[in-house]
Amino acid sequence: MQRASHHDLRAQFRALLASNSCYHTASVFDPMAARIAADLGFEVGILGGSVASLQVLAAPDFALITLSEFVEQATRIGRVSRLPVIADADHGYGNALNVMRTVVELERAGIAALTIEDTLLPAQFGRKSTDLISIDEGVGKIRAALEARVDPDLAIIARTHAGVLAVDEVIRRTQAYQAAGADAICIVGVEDFDHLEQISAALSIPLMLVTYGNPKLRDNERLASLGVRIVVNGHAAYFAAIKATYDCLREQRGAQSSDLSATELTHTYTQPEDYIVWAEEFMNVKE
């Protein structure tokens, strides 16, 4: 079976960023998924933080998974992967010093690139899950990530949320991360091509978009022309696996068929209501 070193896979990812094309990620949540994605010809994969939380903890995406748990899964994938894999490293599992530890561990795991976002995580009680840290703190995390990496081909990607900020603020943030040395900018919440054009015109490094299949952003050539090199449409493969597991086990038990969707099943079995109650009870601090 064809093999590639971690450094070679990082070089492959760098070549994608330097190209004039736009590539769509495969959701690779375990070693088998990574092998399947490579065999099908995907150029790049992504290990999502939300998917890792589901797979390791059967828990909702409330920043509950620890760095060590995430790294364990990344390491399993890194042992067999024949395509470069991006790690969704959330907020770096803490402050800038935690970010340095995160980079060290994910680099050892064989990851080709990782995203560090400026979301305020874990979310404080009663606050939106899309609250952002200050630009200065975000810049500090990117600088710390760059300092911590050993292989210069490991790509550090700064991530922010364009759906919760005015476009001028998005530009200000992303330009600051670019100036700090980020290798690319990952943006969530872009509404359409007009929105994207305003942001991309202010930047000179490659872009990565998390679109969740937004139909207003489905023109690959236009995306490429605006500097978008990587697109994350979501993690449909893992949710399909949840649905298939449920249907298979129901059939084995002789139960009647069910029309529950993968989203409904995920909500049922991650039990988010329990976490909401616990947050109310233990995190609602009165100052």
Q: How many domains does the chain contain in total? A: 2
- My answer on whether 106 and 222 are in the same domain is yes
Q: How far apart are CA 13 and CA 17, in angstroms?
A: 6
- Range list of β-strands (E), the chain: 23-24, 26-27, 45-47, 85-88, 113-117, 155-161, 184-188, 207-210, 228-232
> In the predicted model, what is the mean pLDDT of the chain?
95
Residues 14 and 156 in one domain: yes
Q: How far, in Å, CA of 49 to CA of 27, rounded? A: 11
Assess whether 92 and 138 both reside in one domain. yes
Detail the residues annotated as belonging to a binding site.
50, 88, 159, 235
Determine, yes or no, domain membership for 202: yes
Which residues fall within 8 angstroms of residue 90, CB to CB, at 6 or more apart? 49, 63, 117, 119, 121
The closest alpha carbon to 249, from 269, 272, 271, belongs to: 269
- Same-domain check for residues 216 and 270: no
Element (H, E) at 7: helix 6-18
Which residue bears the tokens 């081909």? 153
Whether 190 and 248 map to the same domain: the answer is: no
Mean pLDDT of 40-68: 95
Are both 275 and 223 inside the same structural domain?
A: no
Do the domain assignments include residue 1?
Answer: no
> What pLDDT, in 10s, does the model give residues 140-155?
999 999 999 999 999 9
| Bridge partners, residue 185, by sequence | 158, 207
Distance between CA 88 and CA 102 in Å, rounded?
Answer: 11
Residues 160-206 have pLDDT tens digits of 999 999 999 999 999 999 999 999 999 999 999 999 999 999 999 99
Amino acid code (one letter) for 224: A
Residues 220 and 282 in one domain: no
Q: Which of 218, 234, 250 is at the close of a domain? A: 234
Q: What b/e sequence results for 176-199 when a residue is b if at least 16 CB atoms lie within 10 Å of its CB, and e otherwise? A: bbbebebbbbbbbbbeeeebbeeb
- Same-domain pairing of 71 and 163: yes
Binding-site positions for substrate read 50, 159, 235
pLDDT computed for residue 58 by the predictor: 94
| Positions at the binding site for Mg(2+) | 88
* Model pLDDT for residues 200-228, shown as the tens digit of each residue: 999 999 999 999 989 999 999 999 999 99
- Read off the tokens for 279: 């947050």
**Rg for the chain, CA atoms, rounded:** 19
Do 47 and 137 have their domain in common? yes
Sign of the torsion formed by the C-alpha atoms of 257, 263, 264 and 269: positive
Apex CA 185: angle with CA 183 and CA 187, to 5°?
160
CATH number at residue 35: 3.20.20.60
pTM score, whole prediction: 0.95
Domain range spanning residue 176? Answer: 6-234
